[in-house]
């Protein structure tokens, strides 16, 4: 279950990442953030974001031109 959801649909790089970084500050350690995007580049961006920040990319799904990411905040 997500602790927060960020609707970043319609935003282009780098805004989904920047907004996700800010939203994660309001999520408790080990909490979950769901991010919704439409930018095709967000797939690679969120993989790199999680790899470099240490957050866990728990789930990634794409369909119908939309992308959904579930990120667990590092503790």
**Token digits of residue 62:** 């794409």
Answer positive or negative: Cα dihedral of 69, 35, 38, 48: negative
50 in catalytic set: no
CB 63 within 8 A of CB 36: no
Three-class SS state of 13: coil
Out of 13, 15, 58, 70, pick the active-site residue. Answer: 13
Residues with catalytic roles: 13
């Amino acid at each position: 279950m997500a602790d927060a959801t960020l609707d970043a649909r319609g935003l282009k790089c780098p805004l989904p990442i920047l907004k996700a970084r800010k939203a994660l500050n309001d999520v408790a350690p080990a909490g979950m953030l769901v991010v919704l995007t439409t930018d095709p580049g967000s797939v690679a961006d969120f993989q790199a974001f999680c790899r470099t920040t240490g957050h866990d990319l728990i789930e990634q799904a794409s369909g119908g031109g939309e992308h959904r990411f579930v990120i667990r905040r590092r503790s």
